[in-house]
Amino acid sequence: MVLDGISISCSKGEICGVLGANGAGKSTLFKIITGLIGPSSGSVKIHTHSSKAIGGIIEKPALYPYLNARENISVFAKMQSLKLSPKEIDEQLLLVGLPLEKNYAVSKFSMGMKQRLGIAIALLNNPESLILDEPFSGLDPLGIESLKGLIRHLAHEKGIGIFISSHIMEHLLSLCTKLYVLKNGKIVNSGAIDVLMERHIHQYEISGTGLKGSKVLEAYQVVFVNSSALVSIQKEQVSKLLTDLLKEGIQVHGCKAVWNMESLF
Amino acid sequence: MNLIQIELFKLFKQRRTFLALAAVFIFEIVVFVIAYDQGANILDVVLNTLKDSFYLKGDLLNGNLITFFLVNSMAFHLPLLLMIIVSGIVTLEYQEGTIRTVFLQPVSKWKFLAAKFAAAIVFTIGVVFVLAITAFTFSYGLFGRGDLVVYMDSLNFFSEQDAFKRLLYSFFSGMLTMIFYSCLCLTIAVFLKDALKTWLISILFLIITNLTGQLQFNLPGWDYWFFPKLVTTWRKFFNFEIPWEQIWGSHLLLVFLTILVIFVGMVQFYKNDIE
Protein backbone atom coordinates (compact mmCIF):
# COMPACT_ATOMS: atom_id res chain seq x y z
CA MET A 1 0.00 0.00 0.00
CA VAL A 2 1.51 3.34 -1.07
CA LEU A 3 -0.88 5.62 0.86
CA ASP A 4 -2.92 4.96 3.98
CA GLY A 5 -5.49 7.09 5.80
CA ILE A 6 -4.52 10.42 4.30
CA SER A 7 -6.63 13.50 5.03
CA ILE A 8 -5.40 16.91 3.92
CA SER A 9 -7.03 20.27 3.26
CA CYS A 10 -6.12 23.62 1.79
CA SER A 11 -8.27 26.76 1.93
CA LYS A 12 -8.70 29.48 -0.68
CA GLY A 13 -5.60 31.64 -0.96
CA GLU A 14 -3.60 29.33 1.32
CA ILE A 15 -0.30 27.65 0.45
CA CYS A 16 0.10 24.22 2.01
CA GLY A 17 3.17 22.05 1.83
CA VAL A 18 3.60 18.29 1.66
CA LEU A 19 7.03 17.34 2.93
CA GLY A 20 8.41 13.89 2.38
CA ALA A 21 11.50 12.02 1.34
CA ASN A 22 11.77 10.59 -2.18
CA GLY A 23 9.36 7.68 -2.47
CA ALA A 24 7.23 8.81 0.49
CA GLY A 25 4.12 8.87 -1.73
CA LYS A 26 3.83 12.60 -2.52
CA SER A 27 3.34 12.16 -6.29
CA THR A 28 0.98 9.21 -5.77
CA LEU A 29 -1.10 11.33 -3.38
CA PHE A 30 -1.33 14.15 -5.93
CA LYS A 31 -2.11 11.72 -8.77
CA ILE A 32 -5.02 10.29 -6.77
CA ILE A 33 -6.34 13.76 -5.86
CA THR A 34 -6.22 14.83 -9.51
CA GLY A 35 -7.78 11.58 -10.71
CA LEU A 36 -4.81 10.43 -12.78
CA ILE A 37 -4.81 7.15 -10.90
CA GLY A 38 -7.59 5.52 -8.91
CA PRO A 39 -7.24 4.57 -5.24
CA SER A 40 -7.32 0.84 -4.50
CA SER A 41 -9.96 1.61 -1.87
CA GLY A 42 -11.78 4.73 -0.73
CA SER A 43 -12.76 7.64 -2.90
CA VAL A 44 -11.82 11.22 -3.72
CA LYS A 45 -14.66 13.73 -3.54
CA ILE A 46 -14.17 17.27 -4.72
CA HIS A 47 -17.01 19.63 -3.86
CA THR A 48 -17.07 22.12 -6.69
CA HIS A 49 -19.30 23.48 -9.43
CA SER A 50 -16.37 24.33 -11.66
CA SER A 51 -15.50 22.15 -14.67
CA LYS A 52 -11.91 22.08 -13.47
CA ALA A 53 -11.57 22.06 -9.71
CA ILE A 54 -7.84 21.42 -9.59
CA GLY A 55 -5.04 22.38 -11.92
CA GLY A 56 -1.58 21.09 -11.49
CA ILE A 57 1.83 19.89 -12.48
CA ILE A 58 2.76 16.37 -11.43
CA GLU A 59 6.44 15.34 -11.36
CA LYS A 60 7.57 17.75 -14.10
CA PRO A 61 5.98 20.24 -16.48
CA ALA A 62 5.09 17.99 -19.44
CA LEU A 63 4.53 20.04 -22.57
CA TYR A 64 4.56 19.41 -26.32
CA PRO A 65 8.24 20.10 -27.05
CA TYR A 66 7.75 20.79 -30.77
CA LEU A 67 5.18 23.54 -30.12
CA ASN A 68 5.94 27.04 -28.85
CA ALA A 69 4.45 28.49 -25.66
CA ARG A 70 1.42 30.05 -27.37
CA GLU A 71 0.68 26.86 -29.32
CA ASN A 72 0.93 24.77 -26.13
CA ILE A 73 -1.54 27.03 -24.34
CA SER A 74 -3.84 27.07 -27.36
CA VAL A 75 -3.79 23.26 -27.72
CA PHE A 76 -4.51 22.61 -24.04
CA ALA A 77 -7.21 25.31 -24.04
CA LYS A 78 -8.96 23.84 -27.09
CA MET A 79 -8.86 20.37 -25.51
CA GLN A 80 -11.12 21.65 -22.75
CA SER A 81 -13.27 23.61 -25.23
CA LEU A 82 -11.83 26.97 -24.23
CA LYS A 83 -11.58 29.44 -27.07
CA LEU A 84 -8.80 31.83 -26.20
CA SER A 85 -8.04 34.83 -28.39
CA PRO A 86 -4.36 35.62 -29.11
CA LYS A 87 -4.69 38.47 -26.58
CA GLU A 88 -5.98 36.11 -23.89
CA ILE A 89 -3.11 33.70 -24.58
CA ASP A 90 -0.65 36.58 -24.17
CA GLU A 91 -2.35 37.53 -20.89
CA GLN A 92 -1.93 33.98 -19.66
CA LEU A 93 1.79 34.12 -20.55
CA LEU A 94 2.21 37.46 -18.79
CA LEU A 95 0.39 36.18 -15.69
CA VAL A 96 3.14 33.62 -15.14
CA GLY A 97 5.90 36.01 -16.15
CA LEU A 98 6.81 34.50 -19.50
CA PRO A 99 8.15 36.90 -22.13
CA LEU A 100 5.91 37.33 -25.18
CA GLU A 101 8.75 37.50 -27.69
CA LYS A 102 10.03 33.93 -27.13
CA ASN A 103 8.42 32.19 -30.08
CA TYR A 104 10.67 29.16 -30.33
CA ALA A 105 9.78 25.56 -29.52
CA VAL A 106 9.35 24.63 -25.86
CA SER A 107 12.12 22.01 -26.18
CA LYS A 108 14.56 24.95 -26.06
CA PHE A 109 13.02 26.42 -22.88
CA SER A 110 14.86 26.40 -19.54
CA MET A 111 13.30 24.36 -16.71
CA GLY A 112 12.14 27.60 -15.06
CA MET A 113 10.32 28.68 -18.22
CA LYS A 114 8.77 25.23 -18.57
CA GLN A 115 7.53 25.42 -14.96
CA ARG A 116 5.94 28.80 -15.66
CA LEU A 117 4.31 27.57 -18.86
CA GLY A 118 3.13 24.46 -17.01
CA ILE A 119 1.51 26.71 -14.40
CA ALA A 120 -0.09 28.83 -17.15
CA ILE A 121 -1.66 25.65 -18.57
CA ALA A 122 -2.69 24.45 -15.10
CA LEU A 123 -4.45 27.80 -14.58
CA LEU A 124 -6.58 27.45 -17.74
CA ASN A 125 -10.30 27.23 -16.95
CA ASN A 126 -9.73 29.03 -13.61
CA PRO A 127 -9.26 26.14 -11.16
CA GLU A 128 -9.97 26.85 -7.50
CA SER A 129 -6.81 25.14 -6.40
CA LEU A 130 -3.43 24.22 -7.76
CA ILE A 131 -1.18 21.24 -7.11
CA LEU A 132 2.54 21.64 -7.73
CA ASP A 133 4.63 18.51 -7.32
CA GLU A 134 8.31 19.29 -6.66
CA PRO A 135 8.12 22.59 -8.59
CA PHE A 136 11.63 23.66 -7.62
CA SER A 137 13.54 20.62 -8.85
CA GLY A 138 15.93 21.46 -11.65
CA LEU A 139 15.77 25.21 -10.99
CA ASP A 140 18.73 27.45 -10.18
CA PRO A 141 18.55 29.65 -7.01
CA LEU A 142 17.31 32.67 -8.98
CA GLY A 143 14.68 30.54 -10.68
CA ILE A 144 13.55 29.17 -7.30
CA GLU A 145 13.09 32.64 -5.83
CA SER A 146 11.30 33.86 -8.94
CA LEU A 147 8.92 30.87 -8.91
CA LYS A 148 8.24 31.39 -5.20
CA GLY A 149 7.21 34.97 -6.03
CA LEU A 150 4.78 33.69 -8.68
CA ILE A 151 3.28 31.11 -6.29
CA ARG A 152 2.78 33.78 -3.59
CA HIS A 153 1.16 36.06 -6.18
CA LEU A 154 -1.27 33.33 -7.32
CA ALA A 155 -2.27 32.48 -3.75
CA HIS A 156 -2.46 35.96 -2.24
CA GLU A 157 -3.61 38.02 -5.23
CA LYS A 158 -5.69 35.46 -7.13
CA GLY A 159 -7.00 33.58 -4.10
CA ILE A 160 -5.96 30.15 -5.35
CA GLY A 161 -5.38 27.41 -2.78
CA ILE A 162 -2.02 25.82 -3.56
CA PHE A 163 -0.55 22.50 -2.50
CA ILE A 164 3.22 22.17 -2.98
CA SER A 165 5.25 19.05 -2.40
CA SER A 166 8.97 19.01 -1.84
CA HIS A 167 11.65 16.98 -0.12
CA ILE A 168 13.50 20.20 0.73
CA MET A 169 12.11 21.81 3.85
CA GLU A 170 13.47 25.34 3.27
CA HIS A 171 11.40 25.67 0.10
CA LEU A 172 8.20 24.90 1.95
CA LEU A 173 8.98 26.97 5.04
CA SER A 174 9.43 30.14 3.00
CA LEU A 175 6.05 29.70 1.29
CA CYS A 176 3.59 27.63 3.30
CA THR A 177 1.38 28.38 6.25
CA LYS A 178 0.50 24.73 6.80
CA LEU A 179 2.61 21.61 6.46
CA TYR A 180 1.88 17.91 6.11
CA VAL A 181 4.74 15.48 6.70
CA LEU A 182 4.41 12.29 4.70
CA LYS A 183 6.35 9.15 5.54
CA ASN A 184 5.82 5.72 4.02
CA GLY A 185 2.42 6.81 2.72
CA LYS A 186 1.13 8.13 6.05
CA ILE A 187 0.80 11.65 7.43
CA VAL A 188 3.08 11.50 10.46
CA ASN A 189 2.87 15.19 11.36
CA SER A 190 0.76 18.14 10.31
CA GLY A 191 -0.27 21.61 11.35
CA ALA A 192 0.45 25.29 11.02
CA ILE A 193 4.15 25.99 10.48
CA ASP A 194 4.28 28.08 13.71
CA VAL A 195 2.86 25.22 15.77
CA LEU A 196 5.23 22.70 14.22
CA MET A 197 8.14 25.03 14.92
CA GLU A 198 7.17 25.13 18.61
CA ARG A 199 7.12 21.35 18.72
CA HIS A 200 10.10 20.42 16.61
CA ILE A 201 12.69 23.18 16.94
CA HIS A 202 14.89 22.83 19.99
CA GLN A 203 18.20 23.91 18.51
CA TYR A 204 19.45 27.14 16.91
CA GLU A 205 22.55 27.50 14.77
CA ILE A 206 24.36 30.72 15.71
CA SER A 207 27.21 31.86 13.48
CA GLY A 208 29.72 34.50 14.48
CA THR A 209 33.31 35.23 15.50
CA GLY A 210 34.75 34.24 18.85
CA LEU A 211 31.89 31.89 19.73
CA LYS A 212 34.23 29.18 21.00
CA GLY A 213 35.61 31.48 23.77
CA SER A 214 32.18 32.73 24.87
CA LYS A 215 31.42 32.58 28.62
CA VAL A 216 27.69 33.02 27.93
CA LEU A 217 27.54 29.82 25.88
CA GLU A 218 29.07 27.81 28.74
CA ALA A 219 25.64 27.87 30.42
CA TYR A 220 24.05 26.04 27.45
CA GLN A 221 24.40 22.69 25.75
CA VAL A 222 26.50 23.60 22.69
CA VAL A 223 28.14 21.78 19.77
CA PHE A 224 30.67 23.82 17.75
CA VAL A 225 30.83 23.32 13.99
CA ASN A 226 33.49 25.50 12.28
CA SER A 227 32.54 29.12 13.14
CA SER A 228 29.01 28.18 14.21
CA ALA A 229 27.54 27.00 17.47
CA LEU A 230 24.62 24.60 17.62
CA VAL A 231 22.78 25.60 20.81
CA SER A 232 20.02 23.51 22.39
CA ILE A 233 17.57 26.13 23.59
CA GLN A 234 13.84 26.99 23.69
CA LYS A 235 12.39 29.59 21.31
CA GLU A 236 11.66 32.06 24.16
CA GLN A 237 15.32 32.05 25.25
CA VAL A 238 16.81 32.99 21.87
CA SER A 239 16.46 36.79 22.23
CA LYS A 240 18.12 36.74 25.67
CA LEU A 241 20.98 34.54 24.42
CA LEU A 242 21.66 36.82 21.44
CA THR A 243 21.55 39.94 23.65
CA ASP A 244 23.98 38.35 26.11
CA LEU A 245 26.34 37.33 23.29
CA LEU A 246 26.34 40.88 21.89
CA LYS A 247 26.95 42.32 25.35
CA GLU A 248 29.90 39.94 25.68
CA GLY A 249 31.37 41.43 22.52
CA ILE A 250 30.73 38.44 20.24
CA GLN A 251 30.03 39.43 16.64
CA VAL A 252 26.91 37.45 15.68
CA HIS A 253 26.43 37.02 11.91
CA GLY A 254 23.29 34.90 11.91
CA CYS A 255 20.86 32.75 13.83
CA LYS A 256 18.92 29.91 12.20
CA ALA A 257 16.34 27.52 13.65
CA VAL A 258 17.30 23.86 13.24
CA TRP A 259 14.43 21.43 12.87
CA ASN A 260 14.54 18.15 14.71
CA MET A 261 13.95 15.88 11.75
CA GLU A 262 13.76 12.76 13.91
CA SER A 263 10.77 14.09 15.84
CA LEU A 264 9.20 15.67 12.73
CA PHE A 265 9.34 12.39 10.78
CA MET B 1 -13.96 17.65 -34.03
CA ASN B 2 -11.83 19.97 -31.95
CA LEU B 3 -9.78 17.10 -30.57
CA ILE B 4 -9.27 15.59 -34.05
CA GLN B 5 -8.07 18.98 -35.36
CA ILE B 6 -5.68 19.22 -32.40
CA GLU B 7 -4.28 15.75 -33.11
CA LEU B 8 -3.73 16.56 -36.80
CA PHE B 9 -2.19 19.92 -35.87
CA LYS B 10 0.26 18.20 -33.51
CA LEU B 11 1.04 15.53 -36.11
CA PHE B 12 1.95 18.07 -38.77
CA LYS B 13 4.01 20.10 -36.32
CA GLN B 14 6.46 17.22 -35.95
CA ARG B 15 9.43 16.87 -38.23
CA ARG B 16 9.22 13.07 -38.22
CA THR B 17 5.85 13.25 -40.00
CA PHE B 18 7.42 15.10 -42.91
CA LEU B 19 10.45 12.80 -42.88
CA ALA B 20 8.15 9.81 -43.26
CA LEU B 21 6.22 11.51 -46.06
CA ALA B 22 9.54 12.31 -47.72
CA ALA B 23 10.43 8.61 -47.41
CA VAL B 24 7.28 7.75 -49.41
CA PHE B 25 8.39 10.13 -52.18
CA ILE B 26 11.94 8.81 -52.09
CA PHE B 27 10.56 5.29 -52.49
CA GLU B 28 8.57 6.47 -55.52
CA ILE B 29 11.64 8.12 -57.04
CA VAL B 30 13.71 4.96 -56.53
CA VAL B 31 11.02 2.91 -58.31
CA PHE B 32 11.00 5.43 -61.19
CA VAL B 33 14.79 5.37 -61.51
CA ILE B 34 14.98 1.54 -61.42
CA ALA B 35 12.12 1.27 -63.89
CA TYR B 36 13.81 3.76 -66.24
CA ASP B 37 17.17 2.06 -66.01
CA GLN B 38 16.32 -1.64 -65.69
CA GLY B 39 12.60 -1.95 -66.52
CA ALA B 40 12.96 -2.81 -70.20
CA ASN B 41 15.51 -5.59 -69.49
CA ILE B 42 13.35 -7.13 -66.74
CA LEU B 43 10.29 -7.10 -69.01
CA ASP B 44 12.34 -8.72 -71.81
CA VAL B 45 13.33 -11.58 -69.49
CA VAL B 46 9.73 -12.06 -68.25
CA LEU B 47 8.17 -11.90 -71.70
CA ASN B 48 10.94 -13.66 -73.66
CA THR B 49 9.12 -16.98 -74.00
CA LEU B 50 5.87 -15.25 -74.91
CA LYS B 51 7.54 -13.34 -77.70
CA ASP B 52 8.18 -16.64 -79.50
CA SER B 53 4.44 -17.35 -79.72
CA PHE B 54 2.81 -13.89 -79.58
CA TYR B 55 3.28 -10.54 -81.22
CA LEU B 56 3.47 -7.91 -78.45
CA LYS B 57 2.61 -4.44 -79.72
CA GLY B 58 3.37 -1.19 -77.88
CA ASP B 59 5.49 -0.35 -74.84
CA LEU B 60 4.66 -2.50 -71.81
CA LEU B 61 7.03 -0.47 -69.63
CA ASN B 62 4.47 2.28 -69.14
CA GLY B 63 2.81 4.35 -66.40
CA ASN B 64 0.33 1.62 -65.51
CA LEU B 65 3.09 -0.93 -64.83
CA ILE B 66 5.05 1.59 -62.73
CA THR B 67 1.89 2.46 -60.76
CA PHE B 68 1.35 -1.26 -60.23
CA PHE B 69 4.84 -1.48 -58.70
CA LEU B 70 3.96 1.44 -56.43
CA VAL B 71 0.64 -0.15 -55.45
CA ASN B 72 2.68 -3.10 -54.25
CA SER B 73 4.39 -0.85 -51.67
CA MET B 74 1.15 -1.23 -49.70
CA ALA B 75 2.29 -4.75 -48.81
CA PHE B 76 5.19 -3.67 -46.62
CA HIS B 77 6.81 -0.25 -47.13
CA LEU B 78 3.76 1.94 -46.67
CA PRO B 79 2.30 0.13 -43.62
CA LEU B 80 5.78 0.20 -42.06
CA LEU B 81 6.05 3.97 -42.45
CA LEU B 82 2.47 4.54 -41.35
CA MET B 83 2.93 2.42 -38.24
CA ILE B 84 6.04 4.36 -37.27
CA ILE B 85 4.31 7.73 -37.60
CA VAL B 86 0.89 6.77 -36.29
CA SER B 87 2.13 4.91 -33.19
CA GLY B 88 3.85 8.17 -32.17
CA ILE B 89 0.41 9.75 -31.78
CA VAL B 90 0.10 7.73 -28.56
CA THR B 91 3.67 6.78 -27.56
CA LEU B 92 4.95 10.37 -27.65
CA GLU B 93 2.25 11.40 -25.18
CA TYR B 94 3.57 8.77 -22.75
CA GLN B 95 7.23 9.51 -23.54
CA GLU B 96 6.93 13.28 -23.01
CA GLY B 97 4.52 12.87 -20.08
CA THR B 98 1.99 15.12 -21.84
CA ILE B 99 -0.65 12.46 -21.18
CA ARG B 100 -0.51 13.63 -17.53
CA THR B 101 -0.93 17.27 -18.48
CA VAL B 102 -3.86 16.36 -20.76
CA PHE B 103 -5.73 14.50 -18.04
CA LEU B 104 -5.07 17.22 -15.50
CA GLN B 105 -7.51 19.15 -17.71
CA PRO B 106 -11.21 18.26 -17.91
CA VAL B 107 -10.79 15.98 -20.95
CA SER B 108 -12.70 12.72 -21.50
CA LYS B 109 -10.48 9.65 -21.91
CA TRP B 110 -12.88 8.15 -24.46
CA LYS B 111 -13.02 11.30 -26.59
CA PHE B 112 -9.27 11.81 -26.38
CA LEU B 113 -8.38 8.37 -27.72
CA ALA B 114 -11.27 8.33 -30.20
CA ALA B 115 -9.84 11.58 -31.62
CA LYS B 116 -6.44 9.93 -31.92
CA PHE B 117 -7.92 6.99 -33.85
CA ALA B 118 -9.88 9.40 -36.07
CA ALA B 119 -6.77 11.50 -36.73
CA ALA B 120 -4.77 8.34 -37.54
CA ILE B 121 -7.46 7.27 -40.04
CA VAL B 122 -7.63 10.72 -41.66
CA PHE B 123 -3.83 10.82 -41.90
CA THR B 124 -3.68 7.31 -43.40
CA ILE B 125 -6.33 8.15 -46.01
CA GLY B 126 -4.38 11.31 -46.84
CA VAL B 127 -1.10 9.42 -47.29
CA VAL B 128 -2.70 6.79 -49.57
CA PHE B 129 -4.35 9.59 -51.60
CA VAL B 130 -1.01 11.38 -51.95
CA LEU B 131 0.67 8.11 -52.98
CA ALA B 132 -2.06 7.39 -55.54
CA ILE B 133 -2.08 10.89 -57.03
CA THR B 134 1.70 11.17 -57.25
CA ALA B 135 1.99 7.58 -58.55
CA PHE B 136 -0.46 8.19 -61.40
CA THR B 137 0.78 11.70 -62.19
CA PHE B 138 4.49 10.92 -62.33
CA SER B 139 4.13 7.44 -63.83
CA TYR B 140 1.94 8.66 -66.68
CA GLY B 141 4.02 11.84 -67.04
CA LEU B 142 7.34 10.02 -67.24
CA PHE B 143 6.43 6.68 -68.84
CA GLY B 144 3.19 7.36 -70.72
CA ARG B 145 0.07 5.21 -70.82
CA GLY B 146 -0.34 1.71 -72.14
CA ASP B 147 -1.64 -1.80 -71.47
CA LEU B 148 -0.73 -3.49 -68.22
CA VAL B 149 0.88 -6.88 -67.92
CA VAL B 150 1.07 -8.44 -64.44
CA TYR B 151 1.89 -11.88 -63.13
CA MET B 152 -0.76 -13.21 -60.73
CA ASP B 153 -0.47 -17.02 -60.93
CA SER B 154 -0.52 -16.43 -64.68
CA LEU B 155 0.37 -13.51 -66.92
CA ASN B 156 -2.65 -11.21 -67.18
CA PHE B 157 -2.97 -8.48 -69.78
CA PHE B 158 -5.31 -5.55 -69.21
CA SER B 159 -6.20 -2.79 -71.60
CA GLU B 160 -5.09 0.78 -70.74
CA GLN B 161 -8.55 1.87 -69.48
CA ASP B 162 -9.18 -1.38 -67.60
CA ALA B 163 -5.74 -1.17 -65.97
CA PHE B 164 -6.42 2.39 -64.72
CA LYS B 165 -9.71 1.28 -63.13
CA ARG B 166 -8.13 -1.77 -61.48
CA LEU B 167 -5.25 0.32 -60.11
CA LEU B 168 -7.73 2.84 -58.72
CA TYR B 169 -9.78 0.08 -57.05
CA SER B 170 -6.64 -1.44 -55.59
CA PHE B 171 -5.64 1.90 -54.03
CA PHE B 172 -9.07 2.14 -52.36
CA SER B 173 -8.86 -1.47 -51.19
CA GLY B 174 -5.30 -0.93 -49.93
CA MET B 175 -6.51 2.14 -48.06
CA LEU B 176 -8.71 -0.13 -45.89
CA THR B 177 -5.69 -2.33 -45.17
CA MET B 178 -3.56 0.70 -44.27
CA ILE B 179 -6.32 1.97 -41.94
CA PHE B 180 -6.36 -1.44 -40.25
CA TYR B 181 -2.58 -1.36 -39.74
CA SER B 182 -2.69 2.22 -38.40
CA CYS B 183 -5.42 1.39 -35.90
CA LEU B 184 -3.67 -1.81 -34.89
CA CYS B 185 -0.38 -0.07 -34.09
CA LEU B 186 -2.24 2.62 -32.14
CA THR B 187 -3.83 -0.11 -30.01
CA ILE B 188 -0.44 -1.81 -29.57
CA ALA B 189 0.90 1.60 -28.45
CA VAL B 190 -1.91 1.88 -25.87
CA PHE B 191 -0.85 -1.45 -24.40
CA LEU B 192 2.93 -0.95 -24.53
CA LYS B 193 3.16 2.88 -24.02
CA ASP B 194 6.66 2.81 -25.50
CA ALA B 195 7.75 3.81 -29.02
CA LEU B 196 10.50 1.24 -29.55
CA LYS B 197 8.50 -1.71 -28.21
CA THR B 198 5.49 -0.66 -30.32
CA TRP B 199 7.63 -0.41 -33.47
CA LEU B 200 9.19 -3.82 -32.84
CA ILE B 201 5.88 -5.58 -32.23
CA SER B 202 4.22 -3.79 -35.17
CA ILE B 203 7.07 -4.66 -37.53
CA LEU B 204 7.09 -8.25 -36.29
CA PHE B 205 3.34 -8.43 -36.93
CA LEU B 206 3.84 -7.00 -40.42
CA ILE B 207 6.63 -9.47 -41.27
CA ILE B 208 4.67 -12.48 -39.99
CA THR B 209 1.57 -11.30 -41.89
CA ASN B 210 3.61 -10.95 -45.09
CA LEU B 211 5.27 -14.34 -44.70
CA THR B 212 2.12 -16.27 -43.79
CA GLY B 213 0.28 -14.46 -46.58
CA GLN B 214 2.44 -16.41 -49.04
CA LEU B 215 1.12 -19.75 -47.70
CA GLN B 216 -1.31 -21.61 -49.91
CA PHE B 217 -3.55 -24.37 -48.60
CA ASN B 218 -6.45 -25.90 -50.42
CA LEU B 219 -8.74 -25.23 -47.50
CA PRO B 220 -12.26 -23.91 -48.02
CA GLY B 221 -12.41 -20.19 -47.27
CA TRP B 222 -8.61 -19.90 -46.88
CA ASP B 223 -8.35 -16.90 -49.20
CA TYR B 224 -11.54 -15.53 -47.74
CA TRP B 225 -11.06 -15.70 -43.97
CA PHE B 226 -7.31 -16.13 -43.33
CA PHE B 227 -6.17 -12.80 -41.92
CA PRO B 228 -2.92 -12.31 -43.93
CA LYS B 229 -4.97 -12.83 -47.10
CA LEU B 230 -7.46 -10.18 -46.00
CA VAL B 231 -4.84 -7.46 -45.86
CA THR B 232 -3.77 -8.14 -49.45
CA THR B 233 -7.28 -8.10 -50.91
CA TRP B 234 -6.19 -5.24 -53.19
CA ARG B 235 -4.12 -7.79 -55.16
CA LYS B 236 -7.31 -9.56 -56.26
CA PHE B 237 -8.12 -6.65 -58.58
CA PHE B 238 -5.36 -7.98 -60.85
CA ASN B 239 -6.94 -11.41 -61.25
CA PHE B 240 -8.23 -11.74 -64.79
CA GLU B 241 -11.80 -11.93 -63.47
CA ILE B 242 -12.29 -9.67 -60.45
CA PRO B 243 -13.80 -11.81 -57.64
CA TRP B 244 -16.16 -9.08 -56.41
CA GLU B 245 -18.05 -11.24 -53.95
CA GLN B 246 -14.83 -12.39 -52.28
CA ILE B 247 -13.48 -8.83 -52.23
CA TRP B 248 -16.63 -7.39 -50.59
CA GLY B 249 -16.61 -10.18 -48.00
CA SER B 250 -12.93 -9.59 -47.21
CA HIS B 251 -13.46 -5.83 -46.95
CA LEU B 252 -16.39 -6.20 -44.59
CA LEU B 253 -14.37 -8.57 -42.43
CA LEU B 254 -11.41 -6.17 -42.44
CA VAL B 255 -13.67 -3.26 -41.41
CA PHE B 256 -15.08 -5.41 -38.60
CA LEU B 257 -11.53 -6.29 -37.44
CA THR B 258 -10.55 -2.61 -37.56
CA ILE B 259 -13.54 -1.67 -35.38
CA LEU B 260 -12.66 -4.52 -33.00
CA VAL B 261 -9.04 -3.34 -32.75
CA ILE B 262 -10.22 0.23 -32.02
CA PHE B 263 -12.64 -1.05 -29.36
CA VAL B 264 -9.92 -3.10 -27.63
CA GLY B 265 -7.60 -0.07 -27.67
CA MET B 266 -10.29 2.20 -26.22
CA VAL B 267 -11.18 -0.20 -23.39
CA GLN B 268 -7.51 -0.73 -22.48
CA PHE B 269 -6.81 3.02 -22.55
CA TYR B 270 -9.77 3.67 -20.25
CA LYS B 271 -8.47 1.04 -17.82
CA ASN B 272 -4.87 2.36 -17.88
CA ASP B 273 -3.79 4.55 -15.00
CA ILE B 274 -1.94 7.69 -16.01
CA GLU B 275 1.46 7.22 -14.42
Residue A29: its H or E element: helix A26-33
Q: What is the pLDDT of residues A193-209, one digit of tens each?
A: 988 888 888 899 999 88
Give residue A101's pLDDT: 87
**A1, pLDDT greater than 70:** no
**B61, pLDDT greater than 90:** no
**How many contacts does A have with B, using Cβ atoms within 8 A?**
78
> Do strands A251-259 and A201-209 pair parallel, antiparallel, or not at all (unpaired)?
antiparallel
B270 and chain A: CB distance < 8 Å anywhere? no
Nearest to residue B231, comparing CAs of B217, B204, B211? B211
- In angstroms, the CA B118 to CA B183 distance is 9
Give the class (CATH, top level) of A15-184: alpha beta
User: Which distant-in-sequence residues (6+ apart) come within 8 Å of B105 by Cβ?
Assistant: A52, A76, A79, A80, A121, A124, A125
- In angstroms, the CA A217 to CA A205 distance is 12
Contact A55 B274 (CB under 8 A): no
- Cβ contact A213:A250 at 8 Å: no
The percentage of chain A sitting over the pLDDT mark of 70, rounded to a whole number, equals 100
Residue B161: its H or E element: helix B160-192
> Do strands A178-183 and A54-57 pair parallel, antiparallel, or not at all (unpaired)?
unpaired
- CATH architecture of the region A200-264: 2-Layer Sandwich (3.30)
Give residue A111's pLDDT: 93
Q: pTM of the predicted model, to two decimals?
A: 0.87
- In angstroms, the CA B253 to CA B272 distance is 28
Partner-chain residue, chosen from B2, B99, B274, that has the shortest CB–CB distance to A81: B2
Minimum distance, in Å, between the CA of residue B17 and any CA atom of chain A: 12
Residues of B in contact with A118 (CB under 8 A): 101
Where does CATH 3.40.50.300 sit in chain A? 15-184
Our count of domains for chain B comes to 1
Most confident of A214-228, B30-44, B85-99: B85-99
Minimum distance, in Å, between the CA of residue A85 and any CA atom of chain B: 16
Residue A104 to residues A108, A109, A214, Cα–Cα distance (Å) = 7, 8, 59
Contact A125 B106 (CB under 8 A): yes
Give residue A122's pLDDT: 94
Q: Domain of B187? A: 2-271
Terminal-residue alpha carbon distance, chain B: 27
Where does CATH 3.30.70.980 sit in chain A? 200-264
Give residue B37's pLDDT: 82
Contact B274 A31 (CB under 8 A): yes
Residues of B in contact with A129 (CB under 8 A): none
Average pLDDT estimate for B46-71: 76
ipTM at complex level: 0.85
**Band of the pLDDT at B46, cuts 50, 70, 90?**
low
Q: What is the pLDDT of residues B221-256, one digit of tens each?
A: 777 778 888 888 888 999 999 999 989 999 999 999
* Mean pLDDT of the residues in chain A: 90
- Cβ contact B247:B236 at 8 Å: yes
Minimum distance, in Å, between the CA of residue A210 and any CA atom of chain B: 54
Q: Which of B104, B109, B112, B116 to mutate to test the interface with A (most CBs of A within 10 A)?
A: B104
For B101, other C-beta atoms within 10 Å of its C-beta total 26
Residue B39 to residues A25, B44, B208, Cα–Cα distance (Å) = 66, 9, 30
